[in-house]
Structure 1
Amino acid sequence: MTATVAIRDLGVGDADALVALYQHLNAGDVPPTAEAVRAVFAHPGMRHFGLFVSDALIASCNLAVIPNLTRGGSSYGVIENVVTHAEHRGRGHGQAVVRHAVDQALTAGCYKVVLTTSRKDPAVWAFYERCGFDAGDKRAFVIRRR
């Protein structure tokens, strides 16, 4: 029997599976409150995508579409929280969900899509380059709350 693979938008009903998957992104992360989950999934312009193998959530990322007053008023997209379950890496699932998010951003009229990562592993950077991102195009700077 061949497993079915599908990518779809996630909703609040997928939150438990998504939070569990995030342990493969940031082990030991504190789970969000139910109120925070509802607020995130109700946020306009924010979408979460999940790749399912059969009925199991295997990979995910989110896309924020940001309104903009430059570039003729064209919005831009930001992809974050890219994760694939550790037991399913190296099979193209992460690449598929990222490319889906990029396609959705372009369909929404975004003139660019930005992705950031805190990973220092060159293999992770190579993964994003295989997804079509150009590491030399922009530089990101971050301030974190202490």
Structure 2
Amino acid sequence: MMHHTGQKLDPVQIREASMDDLATILELNHHLHENEPLVAVDSRALEVWQSMIADQRLHCFIAEYNREPAASCMLDIVPNLTRGIRPFGVLQNVVTHKDYRGLGIGAKLNAYALDFAWKSDCYQVLVQTGRPEVVVFYERLGFRPDKIGLVAKPEWTEK
């Protein structure tokens, strides 16, 4: 007879995304850019997703809360010839479904991604946000304002 040890299962489980997760990722990403239309699961999205899943540098993580997709992020491990030939990470498309915000899920997901980056020998991980109120969230996870992030977009640079 098994005895209950009193340990509660963590309702947050994190895993790497698979081919079957395209619709889930598109739905979660919609919470990142709610003013944009939901991206359809079509041949173009499937083709891009297949290339992302096949790319050994890209890691898309999904956090599930009580087995429901609640958050996701993308970590790109970039090969590098400086810093002792150590790669660096770029954390992007960090999003928590609006129904699951404030539960610590995003913090657990980002801590998982950082741990993955450190285990991959990254010497640093970069993240950017266009929302000043999110900076405190990242600072609590160990990020610091260290460099100035700049962005170029084609419509800004075309003459």
- TM-score of the aligned structures, taking structure 1 as reference length: 0.91
Partner of residue 12, structure 1: 19
Partner of residue 138, structure 2: 128
Q: Within the alignment, does 1:107 sit opposite 2:107 as a pair?
A: no
Structure 1 distance, partners of 2:92, 2:154, is 18
**In angstroms, what is the RMSD of aligned CA positions?**
1.7
Alignment of 1:48-127 (within 5 A): 48-119=60-131, 121=132, 123-127=133-137
Q: CA deviation at 1:36?
A: 1.3
Contact 2:71 2:109 in 1 (8 A): yes
Partner of residue 57, structure 2: 45
- Give the secondary structure class of the aligned counterpart of 2:150: coil
Aligned length: 143
- Give the secondary structure class of the aligned counterpart of 2:151: coil
Partner of residue 154, structure 2: 145
Identical counterparts, % of pairs = 35
Q: Report runs of 4+ in structure 1 exceeding 3 Å deviation.
A: none
Unaligned 5+ runs, structure 1: none
Q: Within the alignment, does 1:24 sit opposite 2:31 as a pair?
A: yes
- Give the secondary structure class of the aligned counterpart of 1:72: coil
Larger-Rg structure: 2
* More displaced 10-residue stretch of structure 1: 70-79 or 31-40: 31-40
- TM-score of the aligned structures, taking structure 2 as reference length: 0.84
Contact 2:12 2:105 in 1 (8 A): no
Structure 2 distance, partners of 1:77, 1:26, is 23
Structure 2 distance, partners of 1:36, 1:72, is 32
* More displaced 10-residue stretch of structure 1: 35-44 or 104-113: 35-44
Question: What letter is aligned with 2:148?
Answer: R
Question: What letter is aligned with 2:18?
Answer: G
Question: What letter is aligned with 2:79?
Answer: P
Q: CA deviation at 1:45?
A: 0.4
* More displaced 10-residue stretch of structure 1: 103-112 or 26-35: 26-35
